[in-house]
């Protein structure tokens, strides 16, 4: 029975129109699809289809591929386990059982450091997909109009009669379109040129180093002193941290422009021995070209401030503060019915952590928090040293807007502090790696923060 | 060749379809605050103390480690299973558990566990 079905299918399969017209397929054999589905010889049918289409792969090859897929599936299941996505998702904190201490002893034992800006000038890298109008846009538009009219005529012989009317109209429309395109390109070029005229472009390493030192003093992260690139290391410091703004990359694609600032931090002893390898941090924001330059370059100024803030916090966390303890940190009872939402969270330390000898165990009750709220890529609100696990936003946020927010617990440890992980939203229990080694991608990190939306009308 | 392909496909389908029904694993993130606080403070008591008058038995709790993989040692898998046991006990209101007894049963396809470690203990709470 199965063999006869295959034989029946063959003429259909050999019909040259078969693969060009699915309706014909259905009409010529209403049961074909059903037959293909139900027949135990599906594979042979598919092989016939493949052979008819001129596919070079033989059925045996397909079979080998299927076998390979099956074997890979089985191996993956045996090695990784079926339950893995469900099990691993309990909480990332279970991964940290091995050691809570992320800061090596040679860094934890530092008492005071000097922060020195690099004397290497930051690079400006510009990628743009156009250089403004070439002057040929009107001509090209007119030619496109002629082409359009020609196509119309070729499709229908009677269209020749309309040619005297269609051709001038198409030429005029093409010319107008070309002219408009030239204007848009000119405007884009002007905006892009303006973009490249920003003051302090790119941000000097001196500014970044100054801000990092200021953050270190405020947190407090570690006792530090700012020196210039030419200064020798003071006697009372244990190490020197070099801050280098490596590059500003401006990528202009059509109407959009993305800015990526890359900074590097490196910690060395006074004898120039390496204490911590170079850590690279990227900060990226994308806006339209026009958005970057309007309102006296407001977005650019925001970008500079946010980038500096981002680098200061991440350098501090990753080099001096990070601690990984088993915990649950989650949003609770958050009230977002107003434009000044009350954000609340809960931190529960699960215990069972192994601390290095040079670290002291931490207590959840001692934690202070830094809160950050982001609108897309932009940091729109931040608060430091929050005592307790709730915070009411102090300035009204834009209505009807989605935000992401997060807090990291900051634990006091002697005269220094340790920082836990930023709170994340659960996403099917899968936890994305914290950071790519030595490279922190700001946007990747933020997309896992919890979300909230401000009301479109405030409740009185 | 056909039969080999059929067997392979059937095996893969069987294994993959089983993925949809993993054994129940308690989730820290979804656990209530009181349970998590009990979990963090859970005490393991000696066998001789399990029948002391101050504690009320809540029954046997089971923690399962159910995952394939060569990344964890047996001891680590045991720790993960005990972690599950502690959380389940805490969710039942327990403040103490007896010394857990663990067994490694290896592959348990019936419960979709390619690598299974089961730990059991008595859950108790202060009267």
- Tell me, yes or no, whether A343 and A449 share the same domain: yes
d(C-alpha B120, C-alpha B60), whole Å: 7
Q: Kindly report the CATH number assigned to the domain that includes residue A405.
A: 2.60.40.10
Count the alpha carbons within 13 Å of B96 in the hemisphere toward its beta carbon.
Answer: 18
| Res A16 pLDDT > 60 | no
More confident residue, B47 or A303: A303
Neighbours of A305 (CB within 10 A): 12
Q: Which residues pair with A243 in a beta bridge?
A: A117, A265
Closest Cα partner for B27 from A78, A409, A430, A80? A430
Neighbours of B62 (CB within 10 A): 15
Residue B60 lies in a domain: yes
- Rounded to the nearest 10°, the torsion over CA A23, A24, A29, A31 is -10
d(C-alpha A48, C-alpha A62), whole Å: 12
- Tell me, yes or no, whether A111 and A236 share the same domain: yes
More confident residue, A150 or B126: B126
- Tell me, yes or no, whether A416 and A365 share the same domain: yes
d(C-alpha A337, C-alpha A136), whole Å: 55
- Tell me, yes or no, whether A243 and A118 share the same domain: yes
Neighbours of A129 (CB within 10 A): 9
Count the alpha carbons within 13 Å of A2 in the hemisphere toward its beta carbon.
Answer: 10
CA distance A200 to chain B (A): 45
Closest Cα partner for A12 from A23, A31, A27, A28? A28
Q: Number of structural domains, chain B?
A: 1
| Res B102 pLDDT > 80 | yes
Of the candidates A60, A79, A349, the beta carbon closest to that of B70 is on A79
CA distance B95 to chain A (A): 14
Residue A149 lies in a domain: yes
Residue A430 lies in a domain: yes
Parallel, antiparallel or unpaired: strands A256-269 and A327-331 = unpaired
Q: Give pLDDT tens digits for A37-76.
A: 343 344 444 444 444 444 444 445 566 676 666 677 666 5
The torsion angles phi and psi of A250, rounded to 5 degrees, stand at -110, 115
Count the alpha carbons within 13 Å of B60 in the hemisphere toward its beta carbon.
Answer: 6
- Chain B, nearest residue to A353 by Cα: B40
Residue B15 lies in a domain: no
Q: Number of structural domains, chain A?
A: 4
Confidence band (pLDDT; 50, 70, 90) for A88?
very low
Handedness of CA A76, A82, A84, A85 (dihedral sign): positive
Q: Which of A154, A169, A195 is the last residue of a domain?
A: A195
- Tell me, yes or no, whether A365 and A422 share the same domain: yes
Residue A305, pLDDT score: 87
Cβ A90–B27 below 8 Å, yes or no? yes
Counted across chains A and B, CB pairs separated by less than 8 A come out at 108
Residue B9 lies in a domain: no
d(C-alpha A307, C-alpha A303), whole Å: 6
Residue B10 lies in a domain: no
Give first-to-last CA distance, chain B, whole Å.
Answer: 67
- For residue A118 the two structure tokens come to 């690099």
Q: What is the DSSP letter of A129?
A: S
Consecutive H or E run containing A419? strand A416-419
Q: Which residues pair with A210 in a beta bridge?
A: none
Max avg pLDDT among A101-105, A247-251, A278-282, A388-392: A388-392
Q: Kindly report the CATH number assigned to the domain that includes residue A254.
A: 3.30.160.150
d(C-alpha B81, C-alpha A455), whole Å: 44
Residue A350, pLDDT score: 85
Residue A44 lies in a domain: yes
Q: Give pLDDT tens digits for B53-76.
A: 788 889 999 988 876 555 667 777
Mean pLDDT computed over A318-338: 86
Contact B82/A at CB under 8 A: no
Contact B35/A at CB under 8 A: no
Residue-wise burial string across A30-66, b where 16 or more C-beta atoms lie within 10 A, e elsewhere = eebeebbeebebebbbebbebebeeeeeebeebbeeb
Residue A396 lies in a domain: yes
Hunting for tokens 């180093």 — which residue is that? A209
What distance lies between CA A78 and its chain's CA centroid? 33
Residue B75 lies in a domain: yes
- Residue A130 and residue A185 in contact, taking contact as beta carbons nearer than 8 Å: yes
CA distance A356 to chain B (A): 19
Contact B27/A at CB under 8 A: yes
Consecutive H or E run containing A300? helix A289-316
- Tell me, yes or no, whether A334 and A351 share the same domain: yes
Closest Cα partner for A456 from A342, A340, A373, A337? A337
Residue A334 lies in a domain: yes
Residue A210 lies in a domain: yes
- Tell me, yes or no, whether A229 and A117 share the same domain: yes
- Residue A48 and residue A13 in contact, taking contact as beta carbons nearer than 8 Å: yes
Confidence band (pLDDT; 50, 70, 90) for A239?
very high
- Chain A, nearest residue to B33 by Cα: A348
- For residue B30 the two structure tokens come to 């979804």
Neighbours of A301 (CB within 10 A): 14
- Chain A, nearest residue to B18 by Cα: A82
The sheet with strand A342-349 has its strands ordered as: A327-331, A342-349, A390-392
Q: A13 CB contacts (<8 Å, ≥6 apart)?
A: A48, A49, A52
- Residue A82 and residue B68 in contact, taking contact as beta carbons nearer than 8 Å: yes
Q: Kindly report the CATH number assigned to the domain that includes residue B53.
A: 3.30.110.70
Residue B77 lies in a domain: yes
- Tell me, yes or no, whether A335 and A352 share the same domain: yes
Confidence band (pLDDT; 50, 70, 90) for A389?
very high
Residue B104 lies in a domain: yes
- Tell me, yes or no, whether A364 and A308 share the same domain: no
| Res A392 pLDDT > 70 | yes
Helix and strand tally (H, E) in chain B?
3, 5
Mean pLDDT computed over A71-97: 50
Q: Give pLDDT tens digits for A329-359.
A: 889 988 888 999 999 999 988 887 888 877 7
Query: SS3 of A259, please?
Result: strand
Residues of A with CB under 8 A from a CB of B: 43, 60, 63, 66-67, 69-71, 73-74, 77-84, 86-91, 93-94, 97, 328, 330, 346, 348-351, 426, 429
Residue A96 lies in a domain: no
CA distance A460 to chain B (A): 32
Alpha helices in B1-127 (DSSP H): 2-18, 33-41, 74-91
For the whole model, what pTM was predicted? 0.65
Of the candidates B5, B27, B80, the beta carbon closest to that of A66 is on B5
* Residues of the domain holding B68: 24-126
- Tell me, yes or no, whether A355 and A290 share the same domain: no
- Tell me, yes or no, whether A61 and A169 share the same domain: no
Query: Which residues in chain A are contacts of B83 at CB distance < 8 A?
Result: 94
* Residues of the domain holding A306: 105-122+202-321
Consecutive H or E run containing A373? strand A368-375
More confident residue, A227 or A357: A227
Confidence band (pLDDT; 50, 70, 90) for A258?
confident
Residue A98 lies in a domain: no
- For residue A41 the two structure tokens come to 């010889």
d(C-alpha A429, C-alpha A297), whole Å: 41
By CB neighbour count within 10 A (0-12 exposed, 13-18 middle, 19+ buried), where does A204 fall?
middle
- Tell me, yes or no, whether A114 and A45 share the same domain: no
Residue A440, pLDDT score: 41
Residue B35 lies in a domain: yes
């Amino acid at each position: 029975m199965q063999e006869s079905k295959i034989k029946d299918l063959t003429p259909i399969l050999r019909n040259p129109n078969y693969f060009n017209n699915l309706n014909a397929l259905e009409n010529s054999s209403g049961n074909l699809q059903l037959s293909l589905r139900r027949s135990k010889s599906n594979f042979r049918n598919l092989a016939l289809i493949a052979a008819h289409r001129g596919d070079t792969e033989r059925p045996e090859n397909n079979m080998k591929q299927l076998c390979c897929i099956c074997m890979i599936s089985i191996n993956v299941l045996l090695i990784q386990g079926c339950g893995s996505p469900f099990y691993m998702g309990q909480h990332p904190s279970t991964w940290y059982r091995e050691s809570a201490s992320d800061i090596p002893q040679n860094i934890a034992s530092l008492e005071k450091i000097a922060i020195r800006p690099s004397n290497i000038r930051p690079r400006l890298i510009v990628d743009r997909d156009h250089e403004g109008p070439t002057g040929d846009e009107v001509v090209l538009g007119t030619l496109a109009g002629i082409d359009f009219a020609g196509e119309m005529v070729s499709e229908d012989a009677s269209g020749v009669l309309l040619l005297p009317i269609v051709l001038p109209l198409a030429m005029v429309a093409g010319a107008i379109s070309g002219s408009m395109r030239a204007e848009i390109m000119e405007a884009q070029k002007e905006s892009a040129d303006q973009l490249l005229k920003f003051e302090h472009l790119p941000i000097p390493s001196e500014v970044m180093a100054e801000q990092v030192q200021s953050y270190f003093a405020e947190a407090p992260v570690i006792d530090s002193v700012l020196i210039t690139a030419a200064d020798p290391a003071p006697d009372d410091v244990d190490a020197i941290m070099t801050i280098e703004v490596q590059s500003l990359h401006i990528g202009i694609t059509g109407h959009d422009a993305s800015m990526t600032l890359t900074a590097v931090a490196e910690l060395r002893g006074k004898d120039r021995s390496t204490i911590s390898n170079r850590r690279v941090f990227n900060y990226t924001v994308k806006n339209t070209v026009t958005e970057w330059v309007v309102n006296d370059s407001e977005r650019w100024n925001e970008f500079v401030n946010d980038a500096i803030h981002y680098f200061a916090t991440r350098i501090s966390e990753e080099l001096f503060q990070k601690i990984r303890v088993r915990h649950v940190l989650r949003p609770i009872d958050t009230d977002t019915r107003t434009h000044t939402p009350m954000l609340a969270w809960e931190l529960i330390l699960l215990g069972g952590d192994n601390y290095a000898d040079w670290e002291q165990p931490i207590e959840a009750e001692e934690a202070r928090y830094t809160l950050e709220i982001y609108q897309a890529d932009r940091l729109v609100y931040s608060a430091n040293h929050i005592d307790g696990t709730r915070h009411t936003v102090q300035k009204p946020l834009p209505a009807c807007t989605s935000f992401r927010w997060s807090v990291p617990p900051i634990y006091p440890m002697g005269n220094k502090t340790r920082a836990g992980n930023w709170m994340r939203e659960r996403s099917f229990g899968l936890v994305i790696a914290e950071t790519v080694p030595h490279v922190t991608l700001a946007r990747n990190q933020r997309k896992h923060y919890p979300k909230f939306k401000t009301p479109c009308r405030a409740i009185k | 060749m056909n039969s080999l392909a059929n067997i392979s496909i059937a095996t893969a389908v069987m294994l993959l379809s089983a993925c949809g029904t993993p054994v129940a694993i308690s989730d820290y993130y979804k656990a209530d605050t009181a349970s998590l606080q009990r979990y963090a403070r859970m005490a393991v008591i000696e066998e001789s103390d399990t029948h002391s008058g101050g504690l009320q038995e809540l029954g046997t709790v089971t923690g399962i480690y159910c995952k394939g993989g060569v990344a964890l040692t047996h001891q680590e898998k045991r720790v993960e299973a005990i972690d599950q046991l502690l959380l389940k006990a805490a969710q039942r209101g327990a403040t103490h558990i007896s010394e857990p007894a663990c067994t490694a049963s290896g592959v348990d396809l019936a419960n979709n566990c390619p690598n299974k470690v089961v730990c059991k203990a008595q859950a108790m709470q202060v009267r």
